[in-house]
Amino acid sequence: MNRLVPFALTALLLAGCTAGAGGQEPPLREGGTGPFTLVTGRDTTGYLRPLLDRWNRSRPAERVTLLELPEAADEQRAQMVANLQARSDRYDVLGLDVVWTAEFADAGWIVPLERSMFPLDRFLPPVVDTAVYRGKLWAVPYTSNAGLLYYRKDLLAKEGLAPPRTWAELREQARALHEEYGVGGYAGQFLAYEGLTVNFAEAVQSAGGGPILSPDGTRVTMDAAGAKAGLDFLVGGLREGWIPKESLSYKEEESRLAFQEGRLAFARNWPPAYGPATQSEIAGKFAVTRLPGLDGPGSSTLGGTNLALSAFSKRQKSAAEFIRYFTGLENQRRVLTDGSFPPVWTELYDDPALIRRFPYLPVLKESILSARPRPVSANYDQVSLAIAGAVSGALTPPFEESSDDVVASLKGQLNEIIRAP
């Protein structure tokens, strides 16, 4: 186990007592040791508690208690925000969606950390960027994520087809496999929630529409032509039927089940869906590749979880040491082998033994390195709601609103949100 030396701990806790990005002063907690909590989304694979037990066996006086929140990111955020707005000390270590960094830092709910305490140079660079806001490190990457295209390699082989690299190829293959084998063509996460924001952002950037907001979150930079192309890709699939209408109710779990039960030829999902599929009726019949785009391989949205330190924690010293331990190399290997979650250490993606066990690692590494973060904004929840609402309306039959009008209206909404005080 890596232990923080007293000087490093002092440096971190002093850093944690500086003002937040929004000018709010986090309360001084003078370090603090003892039992603490880790709050994060529901562990759907059961891998987390054994990892926590390893810490607890070696640190009985600093036991960590797992507090699980709902699976959906929107609900996790709502519960965390309610706790932090009340300045409660019940949460110590926060498992944050990578897109929440700016909001939580700006509100003064988390404290900045000392970069030198963590081997960030050995982490995937885009992942580290998700934990930085206005030049400060506000969290430590714990897991990464990038969308992948799951496909039925057995069906493609029967038709003599290579995995699709463009939207046109995906459309053609999805329609052909639907007609020939009676399976749904393609689906992602199209319910009106955070997952739809992710799917739309991927479509926009995969059509050359650029990021939706500028890196500092002060301007709407989404190119109208690229956004229209991305939206047309999704609307066209639903209108033509190669994207099944049932997918309008899909979140990650529903799309995972539809694919592994053999109801889809193609599905966009995160890497943790891979493990369950190997134990399903399509075991040995599927593979993954990068998401397709307008003219070639597309660009995924960068996902994952970062660990942050609550500004209201009374056990900041123990919690900080836990963050360093839990993001260490040994634990990161278990995050992959036991939980099937993408690690943040670059070298694990090049490990031959791990690649034999998880053959998607090289593709996943490419996807992460070419991925883009979701819009960075202290008002991200409003940004995401606006995007999901606008796109959901466009995807819902009878498709009365033109893509041009939807994109223009969305840009107007986003401009109002980012200009709000």
What confidence tens digit (pLDDT) does each residue in 33-73 have?
999 999 999 997 789 999 999 999 999 999 999 999 998 88
Q: Model's pTM, two decimal places? A: 0.87
Taking the C-alpha atoms of residue 292 and residue 151, their distance in angstroms, rounded to an integer, is 12
Average pLDDT over residues 296-309: 96
Task: Using alpha carbons, list the distances in angstroms from residue 220 to 34, 242, 383, 414.
Answer: 45, 32, 11, 7
Q: Which helix (H) or strand (E) holds 38?
A: strand 36-41
- For 89, which DSSP code? S
Taking the C-alpha atoms of residue 330 and residue 341, their distance in angstroms, rounded to an integer, is 14
Q: Which helix (H) or strand (E) holds 15?
A: helix 6-15
Q: Which helix (H) or strand (E) holds 361?
A: helix 361-369
Strand partners, 95: 307
Mean pLDDT of the chain, nearest integer: 92
Q: How confident is the model at residue 348 (pLDDT cuts 50, 70, 90)?
A: very high
What pLDDT, on the 0 to 100 scale, is given for residue 26? 52
Give the CB-side neighbour count of residue 234, counting CA atoms within 13 A. Answer: 33
Q: Which two tokens stand for residue 253?
A: 């779990």
Taking the C-alpha atoms of residue 71 and residue 77, their distance in angstroms, rounded to an integer, is 11
Q: Which two tokens stand for residue 133?
A: 């806001």
Mapping DSSP to helix (H, G, I), strand (E, B) and coil, where does residue 385 land?
Answer: helix
- Catalogue the E-assigned strands of 259-378: 264-269, 286-289, 302-309
Is 30's pLDDT higher than 70?
no
Average pLDDT over residues 307-320: 97
What pLDDT, on the 0 to 100 scale, is given for residue 20? 54
CB 166 within 8 A of CB 201: no
Residues in the chain: 421
Average pLDDT over residues 282-286: 98
What pLDDT, on the 0 to 100 scale, is given for residue 216? 85
Mapping DSSP to helix (H, G, I), strand (E, B) and coil, where does residue 244 land?
Answer: coil
Maximum Cα interatomic distance, the chain, rounded to a whole number of Å: 67
Taking the C-alpha atoms of residue 408 and residue 110, their distance in angstroms, rounded to an integer, is 35
Per-residue pLDDT tens over the stretch 186-218: 999 999 999 999 999 999 999 999 899 998 889
What pLDDT, on the 0 to 100 scale, is given for residue 403? 96
Taking the C-alpha atoms of residue 185 and residue 12, their distance in angstroms, rounded to an integer, is 51
Average pLDDT over residues 313-320: 96
Q: What are phi and psi of 96, to 5 degrees?
A: -100, 135
Q: How confident is the model at residue 393 (pLDDT cuts 50, 70, 90)?
A: very high
What pLDDT, on the 0 to 100 scale, is given for residue 409? 98
Q: Three-class SS string for 168-226?
A: HHHHHHHHHHHHHHCCEEEECCCCCCHHHHHHHHHHHHHCCCCCCECCCCCCECCCHHH
Taking the C-alpha atoms of residue 114 and residue 10, their distance in angstroms, rounded to an integer, is 10
Taking the C-alpha atoms of residue 65 and residue 36, their distance in angstroms, rounded to an integer, is 6
CB 222 within 8 A of CB 204: yes
Q: Which helix (H) or strand (E) holds 237?
A: helix 224-240
Taking the C-alpha atoms of residue 227 and residue 229, their distance in angstroms, rounded to an integer, is 5
Strand order in the sheet with 93-97: 64-69, 36-41, 93-97, 302-309, 140-146
Taking the C-alpha atoms of residue 51 and residue 59, their distance in angstroms, rounded to an integer, is 13
Q: Which two tokens stand for residue 29?
A: 């907690």
Q: Which helix (H) or strand (E) holds 152?
A: strand 148-152
Taking the C-alpha atoms of residue 208 and residue 299, their distance in angstroms, rounded to an integer, is 9
What pLDDT, on the 0 to 100 scale, is given for residue 4? 37
Per-residue pLDDT tens over the stretch 94-142: 999 999 999 999 999 999 999 999 999 999 999 999 999 999 999 999 9
